[in-house]
Every structure is written in structure tokens, then in C-alpha cells.
Chains A and B, each alone.
Chain A
């Protein structure tokens, strides 16, 4: 192993797990680990001990750019009165089948 500086605090990682039936990985929590491989192993122990998953992703929390709570009004509220953007607004012809 290449020498690394000892960290006082382990960095935080976000954990995403894909369940057996699930198509996509879903965020299930976070944990502290020294590096990516250890984060993966710890995620296995912390989040998949009850057969929750068949695949795990871990992402350094620091690399996630999040929207600010203060932006809520201009980011999200304008969508509230535009129900025509929901697909349920339109009648779907029977020939289309399951969507």
C-alpha cells in the first residue's frame, strides 16, 4: 500500500443499494469509512444484513452538490399548479398498453 496520512475523522459516504426486485439503486443512508473499499464493506454490514440488496454503490458525500433549502420557493413551488405536466392528465389509448 502507498503511505497515506492518517485521518483524524473518516470521511462520510452515501450508500445506494439495489434490491432484488429493484431496477435502480436507492439511497439508503450514509456511513463513515477510511476509503471507498472499506465503505463498500461497511455498507454491506450496515445496510444489507437483512437481504436488502444485490448491489451496492458508495459515493463520497463531499462530491454531492445539493440544492439549498432557501431555493425551495423558486426551485420547486412553480411546479405546484401545472398539473398538466403529469401524464395522468391525459387519457391514454388502450392500444398503448402498460406505461
Chain B
């Protein structure tokens, strides 16, 4: 697989997997208004994923389509950050059927949106014109996702003792997974050298400053100590991705080529 394809699939898989995770709240949101907000965010992400898969399919050529890329690749071929595939609960919940935790959802959306506000902004200057156009559209959406998740981070962090404890637990659980944002794969090195991709390492200082400011305002603490280094964007995933994909891909695989 060429480096540009690998990179576009990485961006697409991020959006699709998080969109699918957030969509688990559809019909189950903590309040009606928030249920609709989270469904909107999911649809934005799935819309971004579609544009990116269409672009990747164009780069791949042959019989590739957005559907073959979304529905007929297995977990090992997915290039999303591991952070985005984790279930909506803490690390020791036991089973995937454990109750969803909104603090986990909010913290994950905050950490990812804060990154993507910077990445999409940089990608507006990509030498790949199609990617630059997708970035311009996605930037507006993710700015709202950041506003939404940051707002809830402050409300939950600086809220009741229970909301504070749950949000801190979600930060302690999820923040270490962001280490993967700052490593560089061979494919990323190649697309950055070609002016196609955004070098996340150049964005890390700003991301750190924005995250620290939000955590301080939310009276939350940033966990210290050694962090696990996930390698989801290289195809090494947690067990959770397979379950997510089997639910998402099941229908398309049972009825290949079916249309409405």
C-alpha cells in the first residue's frame, strides 16, 4: 500500500471508528438534547470518513469503493488510533456489556477533537488538493466537537464529587493512549516529506498547552508516569476493535452488494 493511501485510510478509520463508538449513544443519551448532539457528532465523523474513503478508493483504483474499505477490511487492516476503539467505559469494567460512561465519551472526544482541530488546520495546506478540501470542511465540524466536549469536560470536572471522580478516572484511563498521536510511522514520514500529511510532532506543544489549560480549568489532574505506547495506526489493535467491526460490518457482509 502506498504511503498516501495508508495515511488517508488512517484519517478515515479514525473518523469511522469514533463515529461508530459515539453512535452507541443514539437512543441512550443521558438527556434528549445530548442524545441528539452526540448523534450529530457521529454523523459529522461518518461524513468525514466517507469523503476520505472515497478519496482513498480513488487513489487505490481498481474495484475499491468507500464500502469495500469500510466494510470489507478486517481489524488488522484498520489504521485508527487505539484510543478511538476503546469501549465507553473504564479499563476494569469486565465485559463490553458494562454500562456506558459519559465521562469516558466526553474525555475521548475532547482529546481527539483537540488534536484534529490542529491536524485539519494544517492539512488545509496539504499538497493533495482533495485532502485540503476535506480538511477545510472537517475543521468547521471538529471545532464544534471540541467546543461541545470541552464544555462538558469543564462541567463534569468542576461539577459534583461523583462527576469529578468519574471524569478524572476517564482522564487517567484514556490520556496515556494519546502517546500514539506523537510517534511517526514510515508512512507518515513519507507523506510529511511529500507535503501531503501533517507532522503531528509539530503540533504536540500546542495540544499539550490546550489540554493542560482545559484540565486546570476543570479542576482535573493530568496523570504522570510511564505511558503505554499503542500502535493502532500500524494495525496492532485491542480486542475491542474486532467486536466493533463485527457489529458495524455484519449486515454488509451478510448481504454483499445489497442496495436500498
Taking beta carbons and an 8 Å cutoff, which residues of A are in contact with B? 1, 6, 10, 31-34, 37-38, 41-42, 45-46, 49
Contacts and interface: CB of A to CB of B under 8 A. Distances in A.
Give the interface SS of chain B, mostly helix, strand, loop or mixed: helix
Interface in B197-255: 217
Interface of B: 31-34, 36-37, 40, 147-148, 151, 154-155, 158-160, 217
A60 to B, nearest CB: 15
Nearest to A49: B40
A42 B37 contact: yes
A33 B158 contact: no
A41 B36 contact: no
Given A41-B147, A42-B37, A49-B40, A32 B31 contact: yes
A42 B33 contact: yes
A46 B29 CA distance: 13
A39 B3 CA distance: 44
Nearest to A31: B33
Contacts of A34: 155
Given A6-B160, A41-B148, A33 B155 contact: no
Given A6-B159, A6-B160, A32-B33, A45 B154 contact: no
Given A1-B154, A49-B40, A42 B34 contact: yes
Given A1-B154, A6-B159, A6-B160, A45 B37 contact: yes
Contacts of A6: 159-160
Contacts of A46: 33, 36-37
A40 to B, nearest CB: 11
B151 A38 contact: yes
23 contacts: A1-B217, A6-B159, A6-B160, A10-B31, A31-B33, A32-B32, A32-B33, A34-B155, A37-B151, A38-B155, A41-B37, A41-B148, A41-B151, A42-B33, A42-B34, A42-B37, A45-B37, A45-B40, A46-B33, A46-B36, A46-B37, A49-B36, A49-B40
Nearest to B218: A1
B150 to A, nearest CB: 11
Given A6-B160, A10-B31, A31-B32, 4 more contacts: A32-B31, A32-B32, A42-B37, A45-B36
Contacts of B32: 31-32
Given A1-B154, A34-B155, A38-B151, A45 B160 contact: no
Contacts of B31: 10, 32
Contacts of B34: 42
Most A-side CB within 10 Å, residue of B33, B37, B159: B33
A30 to B, nearest CB: 11
